[in-house]
Amino acid sequence: MTDQLRLKSFNLGKFVIEYLVFIAIVLLVIITAIVEPRFLSAENFTNLMRQFGPLSFVALGMTFIIVGGFIDLSVPGMISLVAIISLSLVDTIGEIPAILVGLALGAAMGCLNGTILIISGASTQAKALFITFGMSQVYGALALIHTDGTSMNRNLLEHEMPLTRVLGSGMLGPLSVSFVVFLFFLTVLYIFQTRTFLGRSINYTGGNIVAAELSGIPTKRIMILIYAICGFMAAVSAVVLFSRVSVTTPTVGMNYERDAIMAVVVGGTSLLGGRGNVLRTVLGVSLVVLMSNCMNLMGVQSHLQEVVRGAILVIAIWLDHRRQ
Amino acid sequence: MKKTLTTLLILIVSISLVACGGGSAPAPAAPAESAPEAAPAAPANDAPAAPAEGGQWKAGFITQAMSNESQAFSWREFQRLAPEYGFTMNMWSGETGPQDEVAGIEQAIAEGYDAIFVNPSSIESIIPALMQAKEAGLIVGMFSSELPEEHQNLRDFFCGSDDFQGGQQAGEFVVTHFPDGASFVEVGGQAGHDAQIKRHDGFRAGIAGSNIVELDSQNVPGPWPTNEAMAIMEDFLVRHGDAINIVFCHWDNGASGVIEAIENSGRKANADDGIFVIGVDGNRTGYAQVRAGTQALSVGQSFTNMAKQSLENAKTMLEGGTVPAVNFIPLDMVTLGSIDSFVEPDW
């Protein structure tokens, strides 16, 4: 009888640790709906889908980096540079080619990050942290140089941007267009991660890079691949971001790496690598976006919101440690 | 197009340099050390941009961040105007924190500069460095940010717009337009920033005693991001719906996010029959929104006049003259009716 009780309480503890983010989301929704009933309105649902946009794409890309056992702090610089370069090309080559150039640039920057890590012999998260931070400074400074520090307003461009407008504020039935695009990428990346050898190899590499190498997995190629995915997703995020707001500053990507890492870790992907997937990240992004929305609706001041964000990150890392 | 290609070329060269310098230790290329000569508006924490030729005095611009476009524009104006007043100029920016601004002041002292114009990210952090500058005999001009009263002996003059006054004028403007009262929400600037606090307080002073009622107020967490302003406005619209008559946004770029949120919700941002949006800055975006009728007022600050006044004051003092301690640069009330009487901004 005592053993049964112990077993039950153990399982409950494990359940809480495993599904805390889900429990937190449910609690947050219930509390906010009681305090502010308009939280459940259709208008807020649309807002949430739109606010979900830019962060969710970065977080999907960051998932592969963290599962692979690395980290990427170059995201803010990549987002800023892609947004600025794409917008500055619109009048010259048109909207769609400019967006395609931006996406290619993002993937290229990601490839370069991976290559630099390999050349530098960076095989740990700590080394990747410093190198990618440096790369973020490079990309960010280039965005500043390109615009002389000034912002770009897509409403002031000569060329019309119909696709961008649809992406930023269009609806497909009850869903925002950016959310539909997100679902597309989520499906593709989930299938890639769970149903392909290359996708599973990322988990093996993050779990134990030496063992992965010994078992014939091309870990260097995996490194380039995950950074390329992250760069590409950062570029998608940049496009969604400048679709959402008409004014783009050369520092528009600031803080996205922090929120993306938080969303990935909160979702349950291990910071040590090897464990986690994009579906978990969706939960993490949901919590980060919901939290911000709920606190705004409840009138919580921005200073306190930052405290809550920081506390959630600390709790997520503690939980990650407990899961190990 | 040429500029885009140049940027891409610099990107490739920078990355090649990083890659070639690779070893076991991470060695990222710091942009500030390689970029400033090519583009003065880039962050230049350690290596100031090349001074203009021919000046007889040396002046430094110590500013909070080149990523703040008003500061990037100010630096450009300083460079343009400095030769007229006989100065050569360098710049230090606190991109990574006030320690860079302190280092800039110390370097200016060590290199025998005649004057510094300072717009710090944190007033308190910079006080000891300003004491050193005064002891070394440098002329200290505060640019856009004023020191607290107890430390005003550390500067020779202040040139800037009065953020409190800006907020107050915006408040008075609202009272004039809504004599029977109305409800407002406030999308504040970077939480804790000097300008955010003063604009907030000034607006309250402007509407004091009127029937203008506050529904909600929220500040953005980071350095004045447009998307955060938009998200806050979206949440305000859910919470308060059609009760919102006025939005006071602390910056014009933020106001563009506010306007998008209003329009996406199916409402109108319009001075006549929609939500009345007010912004501060008077930049290109603000002007465009006023012209389009989506923003009722942009309270404009002239960074050109601030730079001009700072240089003129420093010159006068170096020639043995005296200048007023406080030099407020008048604020422009840019509305659809008055917009053509102002010079179009290029920042």
Q: What is the DSSP letter of B52?
A: P
Residue that wins the pLDDT comparison between A323 and B115: B115
Residue that wins the pLDDT comparison between A10 and A195: A195
Show the domain range for A160. Answer: 54-252
d(CA A214, CA A204): 11
DSSP-assigned states of every residue in B59-127: EEEEES-TTSHHHHHHHHHHHHHGGGGTEEEEEEE-TT-HHHHHHHHHHHHHTT-SEEEEE-S-HHHHH
Query: B69 and A92: CB-CB below 8 Å?
Result: no
- Is A153 near chain B, with CB under 8 Å? yes
User: For B164-173, how does the pLDDT look when each residue is reduced to its tens digit (9 = 90+)?
Assistant: 999 999 999 9
Is the separation of the CB atoms in B269 and B256 below 8 Å? no
Residue B117, CA atoms < 13 Å, CB-side half-sphere:
31
d(CA A214, CA A205): 11
pLDDT at B1 > cutoff 80: no
Residue B107 pLDDT level (bands cut at 50, 70, 90): very high
d(CA A100, CA A78): 15
H or E element at residue B334: strand B332-334
DSSP-assigned states of every residue in A97-158: HHHHHHHHHHHHHHHHHHHHHHHTT--SHHHHHHHHHHHHHHHHHHHHHHHTT--EEGGGSS
| Cα A269 off chain centre by | 13
Question: Which pLDDT score is estimated for B23?
Answer: 37
Is A200 inside any structural domain?
yes
H or E element at residue A295: helix A278-297
In the block, tokens 């998608």 appear at: A236
Question: Which pLDDT score is estimated for A309?
Answer: 83
Distance of CA B184 to CAs A255, B230, B240, B346, Å? 29, 16, 10, 30
Is A26 inside any structural domain?
no
Query: B227 and A252: CB-CB below 8 Å?
Result: yes
Q: Which residues of chain A does B9 touch, with a Cβ-Cβ cutoff of 8 Å?
A: none
- Is A241 near chain B, with CB under 8 Å? yes
Is A201 inside any structural domain?
yes
pLDDT more than 70, % of chain A: 97
| Number of neighbours of residue A30 by Cβ within 10 angstroms | 11
pLDDT at B126 > cutoff 60: yes
d(CA A245, CA B261): 9
Question: Which pLDDT score is estimated for A148?
Answer: 80
Query: A135 and B18: CB-CB below 8 Å?
Result: yes
Residue B248, CA atoms < 13 Å, CB-side half-sphere:
34
Residue A224, classed as helix, strand or coil, is: helix
Residue that wins the pLDDT comparison between A205 and B27: A205
Nearest CB neighbour to A145, from listed B39, B238, B347: B39
pLDDT at A218 > cutoff 90: yes
User: For A77-122, how does the pLDDT look when each residue is reduced to its tens digit (9 = 90+)?
Assistant: 999 999 999 999 999 999 999 999 999 999 999 999 999 999 998 8
Pick the residue of B190, B235, B281, B346 with the most A CBs within 10 A to test the interface with A by mutation.
B235
Question: Which pLDDT score is estimated for A313?
Answer: 81
Q: Which of B225, B160, B152, B162 is nearest to B188 (CA)?
A: B225
Pick the residue of B1, B3, B10, B11 with the most A CBs within 10 A to test the interface with A by mutation.
B11
Domain tally for chain A? Answer: 1
Q: Which of A213, A166, A178 is nearest to A50 (CA)?
A: A178
As a whole number, mean pLDDT of residues A288-304 equals 89
- Mean pLDDT of chain B, nearest integer: 84
Name, in order, each residue with C-beta under 8 angstroms of B13's C-beta and a sequence gap of 6 or more.
none
Query: B24 and A121: CB-CB below 8 Å?
Result: yes
Is A169 inside any structural domain?
yes
Residue B4 pLDDT level (bands cut at 50, 70, 90): low
Hey, which of A108-117, A148-157, A266-275, A310-319 has the most confident mean pLDDT?
A: A108-117
- Model ipTM? 0.81
As a whole number, mean pLDDT of residues B15-38 equals 36
Is A197 inside any structural domain?
yes
Hey, which of A316-320, B96-100, B118-122, B182-186 has the most confident mean pLDDT?
A: B182-186
Is A13 inside any structural domain?
no
Is A4 inside any structural domain?
no
For the record, the structure tokens of A115 come out as 């290559």
| Number of neighbours of residue B191 by Cβ within 10 angstroms | 17
State which residue of chain A sits closest to B27, comparing Cα positions: A131
Question: Which pLDDT score is estimated for B28?
Answer: 31
Is A261 inside any structural domain?
no
d(CA B146, CA A126): 41
Q: Which residues of chain A does B66 touch, with a Cβ-Cβ cutoff of 8 Å?
A: 144, 149
d(CA A250, CA A254): 9
Question: Which pLDDT score is estimated for B40?
Answer: 33
pTM, two decimal places: 0.79
Pick the residue of B2, B3, B4, B233 with the most A CBs within 10 A to test the interface with A by mutation.
B4
Where do runs of H (alpha helix) occur along B241-302?
252-264, 284-292
